[in-house]
Structure formats: structure tokens, C-alpha cells
Structure 1
């Protein structure tokens, strides 16, 4: 039996996500530690350059979504590959703080095309019954980026030095991703190869226990549905990106550099487990309550680290928080895809992603400023816990208001 081509697209996006998250989101933690250690520059200054990385990515999210809707994923993702490879390599060549900014601009352009918006917009046209599962499996590559990406970056820098190590990383990224994107992502959707979504199978309720229902967004509730989800994942991912960026620096005093790297990898493992669980249940549950439940657990983990900064608490809470990363990162586009449908998904989620990334871009800088102002991470972690709970509240309220004109599922 031939494998539905959509699953090949998912597999390709899995690999793309592994490199994108490894060099982008999770790699930022390595860049922060490596650059500050090599040159003695202030943490807040380097974190500000990383913030630019997220700001640039946020600014072009809507353009990325619309461009993939119009021209297909191949040219857009190839451009992103060139940017993220070049940006990572150039970080190793800096000799002054200002030189970090153009490097992170390139990295941000690459991240914008190869991360959430690019991947979900590429996958969305291929599935209906398995919309949640397909997106979750594709984004699961992000966990591989955390598990393997951070240790490999640290290994490359440790073995070859900051300059040559990041050059090697950039070259390998381009040599792997460019042929993959060119070969696999040459179709925009199943119609181009004479198939229907999910592999030309009847959309029955008993197929994989997934239930297909029409989008619920209408002229009466689309604003509250979109913007409540946008507000929630803006707050949640602001905290999440800040935590991930500072995770190595936060853990190093208690665990040492090698121990901190292992903890980041272990956190990536729990994120991977979280996405595995999510892939099994996401098409059968109400995603807004699920996201809120996970965010409450994340909030508790952050507060625990802030109040009891000991090795057992740091390890246990990091693993709990990592499990939530696997859910929260994925559920944003799943909520939008389920409530708004596949038509023009790139533009719709691109709008949300612009706000989400624009807001979350300030996470690393704010966390760095709080750390420098208080002389430690404790107070910032407590504030981050409260912010996460605020996002959970926004999602629940938006869902309840949405029920007045449609059924939120």
C-alpha cells in the first residue's frame, strides 16, 4: 500500500523542525552562554540581540504564511534555510557586540520560515481528519532539536571553537535541508497529485476515532476566538522562550556546564514525550481546556524553581515544564486550524503568529533584565508563573464567549 504523500511532507517537516529549533529557539540558549563566556559581554546585552532575532521573525510571520499560500512551501523554505545556516555560521565570527545584531537578523528570517508558521502552513492543506496529529508529528522534530541540537552545538563549539564550530553547523544544516526541501516539498497540496486530504479516504467519524466537524469561526465570534488564542499563546510563549533561552545559564551554577546541557536535553525528551501523547489525543479532545491544564502545570514548575532553587527541584520542575513545551508550542496552530479551517490558514495563523512572536520576542531580554536587577532568577520565575496563569485565564474566557455564537471544541 502506497504511503499517502502528505505523510512524506510531515516527515520532511519533522527534519526541518529539528534543525530549526536546534539552531533557532534552543540554540539561542547556547549562543547566549557561549558568546558571554568567550567575550565577557553582559548577559542582558547578548540577550537583547537574541530578542532582535525573535522580533525579526515576528515581523515577517504573516508574509511567510501568505507567501506559502501563494507560491507553495519550496521557495520560501529554501530561502529560510539559507538565512538560518548563514546566521548561525556568522555568530561565530563576531568580535564586537553590535555585530551580533545582523547575525540574529538572518537567524530570525530563517527561523520565521522554518518554524511554526512555515511548517503548519505546509502541512495544513494535506489533512482534515488528522489535522491535529499531522501538525503535532511534524512539530515533534522540535523536540529532537532540543534533545540533540543543544549537545551537538556545545560539542561543535567545544571541539572546534566558537568560530569554526558554528561554521560547521551552518554548512551541515544547508547540506541536509536544501535537498530535502527541493525534493519533497514541491507540491502545495493533494489536489496537485490527484488526491484528497488524508489520502483520499472517506472522512468518517470512526476512522482513527477522529471526528470531522466544520470550522466554528463566524463573523460573530471570529475576533474573540482568534485574539483570545493569540493573547494566551503570546503570554505562554513569552515565558517559554525566555525560560528556554536562559535555561543553560540558570542551571549552570547548580549542575555545571555539562550537567546543564544534559538537563536541557532531558527537558527536550519530556517535550518529545508530550508531543507523542498529544499526537494520540489531540483530534479527540477539546484543545482549549487541554492547553489550560498544561499551562497550570508549567506555572507551578516555574514557581517551584523560583522558591526552591535546589538540584532536585530544578531537575524535576524542568522536566515538568518541558512536557508542557511539547503541548503549548503545538496547540496554538491546532486551535486556529480547528476553529478556522484550512482555507487561508497561512494568512490567519500568520496574523496570530506575528503577535505571538512579537510579544514573545521580548522574553529573553526581560528575563535577562529581571535577573540582572534582582541578582538572580527567583523573582523573575515567580513573575513568569503569574504571566502563564494569566494566559490560561484568557484562553478559558475567550472559549466561553465563543460559545455564545458557536460550539468551541
Structure 2
């Protein structure tokens, strides 16, 4: 039986997301202490680079969303991988804080072309009824990127942080460029339909005769449900971005060894695969709003355990299970719920705006985390605040109207 080409798009998106997220997002925390040691920079100064990386979703994501709807995913992803590789190679040569920041701005531009917005748009174009499952599998790549953390940690230990950046940049070219040519834009361009439905001479199959919702970008901007979805995403991105950036310094401050910290850091994205795949699959069966709310609840539970993570092993286990499943599940459904409510017509613009707005939180969060530690010597006030913030996320997503009640 011939495999529907949409699944090859999912596979290419999975591998691309795994590599890019593993090298520039989850592994960044491993570079903090070595760079502090070499340059004497503060945690706040280095954490600001993580915030600048958030430009991929801030300034660049809405722009990329516009070009996605106009030109498609393949060219955007190719350029993105070329720029990611270049920026990582340049990071291996930096000697000043200014150049460090410049490289991360370039990195943000490249990452915007080959991560969340492009991955979600690519998959959304190829699936409708199974969009939750397909998107869940694709974003599992970001979860599997946890496999990159111990590899990067070992590269830093053996070759130093500069060589680690160099090897990561070369890898981006070797892996990413061929995969970008696997991506295709819309199934209709190749005589196919979403989900692999078949055209027949007298029209489409019965289930395809019912037109899918197609909401314009302008309509979405004034829609209450869209604004609530964006607000909830803002909360999740701030929480995840801050914790991932500061997890190893925080665990070190709690007396956890660097090797164990690396294990926990790797376990977070890996365990998020359960949420990404499971919530994606369940989101095609159950109300996506309820599944996203459950994800916020699991994040709250995980953060409670994080506060006591050095007390007993049970706190480590519950944190590694609850937090990543919660945020991974929410991430797999953010594109799916937009696809369900608003269709494909302006999907790139809507996802680009969603990621752009939420990136404001991604910029504030890591810098705020560094400031809290520099001034109070503890991250605890930060995690307590995030518990309450994610509880608010539950309220916001449950206030979104059911999809069939929306009218435009």
C-alpha cells in the first residue's frame, strides 16, 4: 500500500525539529556555566541571549507566517537551515558579549524558518481529520531533541564549547538541507487531498463535500476565542522557555550534580513525547480545549515538584513525568486547535502571530529568571509565580467557545 505523502512531510518535520530544538533550545543550558567561567559574564547577561533567540517567534514568526501562506514551506525551511548552521559556526568564534548577541539574533532568524511555525503549517496543509495525530507526531521531534542534550554535554566536556558550536553548525547543514527538499506545500498542488482522500470523476468523496471552515486573518484578529488561545500560549511559552534555560543552574543551586542535571534536562523533552503524541491523538477524539487545560494542570503539578526536587527521588520522577507531558501536549495541540477553528486559508499568519505574541513572554521569562537568581540567590519565587500563572491558563482556555459555536 502506497504511503500518503503527507506522512513523509511529517517525518521530515520531525527530524528537523529534533535537531534544531536539540541544538539551540534544550542544549543551551549546558553552555551557560562554561561561558560564565571563561568570560565572567553574569547569568542575566547570558540568559539575555536566550531571550534574543525568542525573536524567532517575536519579530520573525509573523513575517514568516505571511511568506508561508504566499510561497509555501520548502523554501522557507531551506533558508532557515542554512542560516541556523551559519549562526552556530559563528558562535564558535565569539569573544565579546556583543558578538554573542549578534549571533543569537542571526540564529533567531534561521530558527524561525525551520521550527514551530513552518512545521505546523507544513503538516496542517496535508491533514484535516487527522491533524491532531499528524501534528502530534511532527512535534514529537522537539521532544526527541532531548537526545541531543547528553551528546552536546559530552561534546563540551571533550572538545570545549567552541568546538561544540562548530560541530552543531555543520550538522545543521548536513541534516537540514536534504530534508528541506522533502517538504511539499499543499496536497492539491500534486493532485491529492488532505488526509489522502481520493478525488473521483463526479466530485469528492462524501465527507469532502462539506467545505471546511476558512477564516481570514482579519476575522481572527477580532475573534474572542483566537485571542484566548493566544493568551494561553503566551503563558505556556514563558514557563517553558524560562525553565529550560535555567534548569541546570537551578539544579546546581539545589545541590544536584552536573551529570544528574544533564540527565534530567534530557528527560524533559524525551518525556514530552508522551504528551505530544498522546495529546495529539486524543485531541482528534476529545475536545481540544479540555486536553489543553489538562496540560496546564500537569505543568502546575510539575512545578510544585520542581520546588522540592532535591528532597527525594519521587519529586524528580513526578516532575519529569508531569511537566513535560503537560507542556508537550499543549504544544502538539496549539496548531491543531487553530486549524480546527479557523481552517487553512490564513493558517501561517495566525500561527505566526500566535508565536510572535507568545515570544514576548519567551523574551521576558529567561531574563527575568536570571535577574531573580542574581538578586535573590534563589529561583523559588519564580517557580511559585509560574504555578499561579499556569492555573490562569486553565481558566483562559476553558473560556474558549466550542468550535461549532463559532460564527464569522
Q: Report the TM-score when normalising by structure 1.
A: 0.90
Give the 5 Å matches for 1:360-371.
360-371=362-373
Using the alignment, how far apart are the partners of 2:131 and 2:108 within structure 1?
Answer: 27
| 2:166 pairs with 1:164 | no
Deviation at 1:403, TM superposition (A): 7.7
Which residue matches 2:280? 279
Give the 5 Å matches for 1:265-344.
265-306=266-307, 309-312=310-313, 313-344=315-346
Contact 1:299 1:385 survives alignment (8 Å): yes
Which residue matches 1:152? 151
Return closer, same or farther for 1:404/1:222 CA change in 2, 3 Å cut-off: farther
Contact 2:56 2:110 survives alignment (8 Å): no
Give the 5 Å matches for 1:105-120.
105-120=105-120
Q: Which secondary structure does the structure 2 equivalent of 1:95 belong to?
A: coil
Residue 198 (structure 1) aligned to one of 165, 186, 195:
195
Using the alignment, how far apart are the partners of 1:368 and 1:329 within structure 2?
Answer: 25
Which residue matches 1:122? 122
Using the alignment, how far apart are the partners of 1:304 and 1:228 within structure 2?
Answer: 28
Unaligned runs of 5+ in 1: none
Give the 5 Å matches for 1:243-258.
243-253=243-253, 254-258=255-259
Residue range with higher mean Cα deviation, 109-118 or 316-325:
316-325
Which residue matches 1:18? 18
Q: Which secondary structure does the structure 2 equivalent of 1:399 belong to?
A: coil
C-alpha RMSD over aligned residues: 2.4
Using the alignment, how far apart are the partners of 1:213 and 1:300 within structure 2?
Answer: 41
Which residue matches 2:131? 131
Contact 2:298 2:325 survives alignment (8 Å): no
Using the alignment, how far apart are the partners of 2:319 and 2:278 within structure 1?
Answer: 19
Paired residues in the alignment total: 398
Unaligned runs of 5+ in 2: 199-203
Which residue matches 2:379? 377
Contact 2:220 2:342 survives alignment (8 Å): no
Using the alignment, how far apart are the partners of 2:214 and 2:80 within structure 1?
Answer: 33
Superposed CA deviations along residues 232-286 of structure 1, whole A, max 9, x for unmatched, are 1101110111011111222234331111111111222210122221233121111
Residue range with higher mean Cα deviation, 326-335 or 237-246:
326-335
Using the alignment, how far apart are the partners of 2:252 and 2:78 within structure 1?
Answer: 36
Contact 1:82 1:174 survives alignment (8 Å): yes
Return closer, same or farther for 1:314/1:33 CA change in 2, 3 Å cut-off: farther
Superposed CA deviations along residues 2-24 of structure 1, whole A, max 9, x for unmatched, are 11111111110011110121122
Return closer, same or farther for 1:342/1:41 CA change in 2, 3 Å cut-off: same
Deviation at 1:102, TM superposition (A): 0.7
Q: Which secondary structure does the structure 2 equivalent of 1:362 belong to?
A: helix
Using the alignment, how far apart are the partners of 1:107 and 1:317 within structure 2?
Answer: 30
Contact 1:242 1:367 survives alignment (8 Å): yes
Which residue matches 1:357? 359
Contact 2:339 2:347 survives alignment (8 Å): yes
Using the alignment, how far apart are the partners of 1:217 and 1:69 within structure 2?
Answer: 13
Using the alignment, how far apart are the partners of 1:373 and 1:403 within structure 2?
Answer: 49
Contact 1:156 1:169 survives alignment (8 Å): no
Q: Which secondary structure does the structure 1 equivalent of 2:378 belong to?
A: coil
Using the alignment, how far apart are the partners of 2:235 and 2:10 within structure 1?
Answer: 28
Return closer, same or farther for 1:388/1:106 CA change in 2, 3 Å cut-off: same
Deviation at 1:287, TM superposition (A): 0.9
Which residue matches 1:391? 393
Q: Report the TM-score when normalising by structure 2.
A: 0.91
Deviation at 1:289, TM superposition (A): 1.4
Using the alignment, how far apart are the partners of 1:299 and 1:213 within structure 2?
Answer: 39
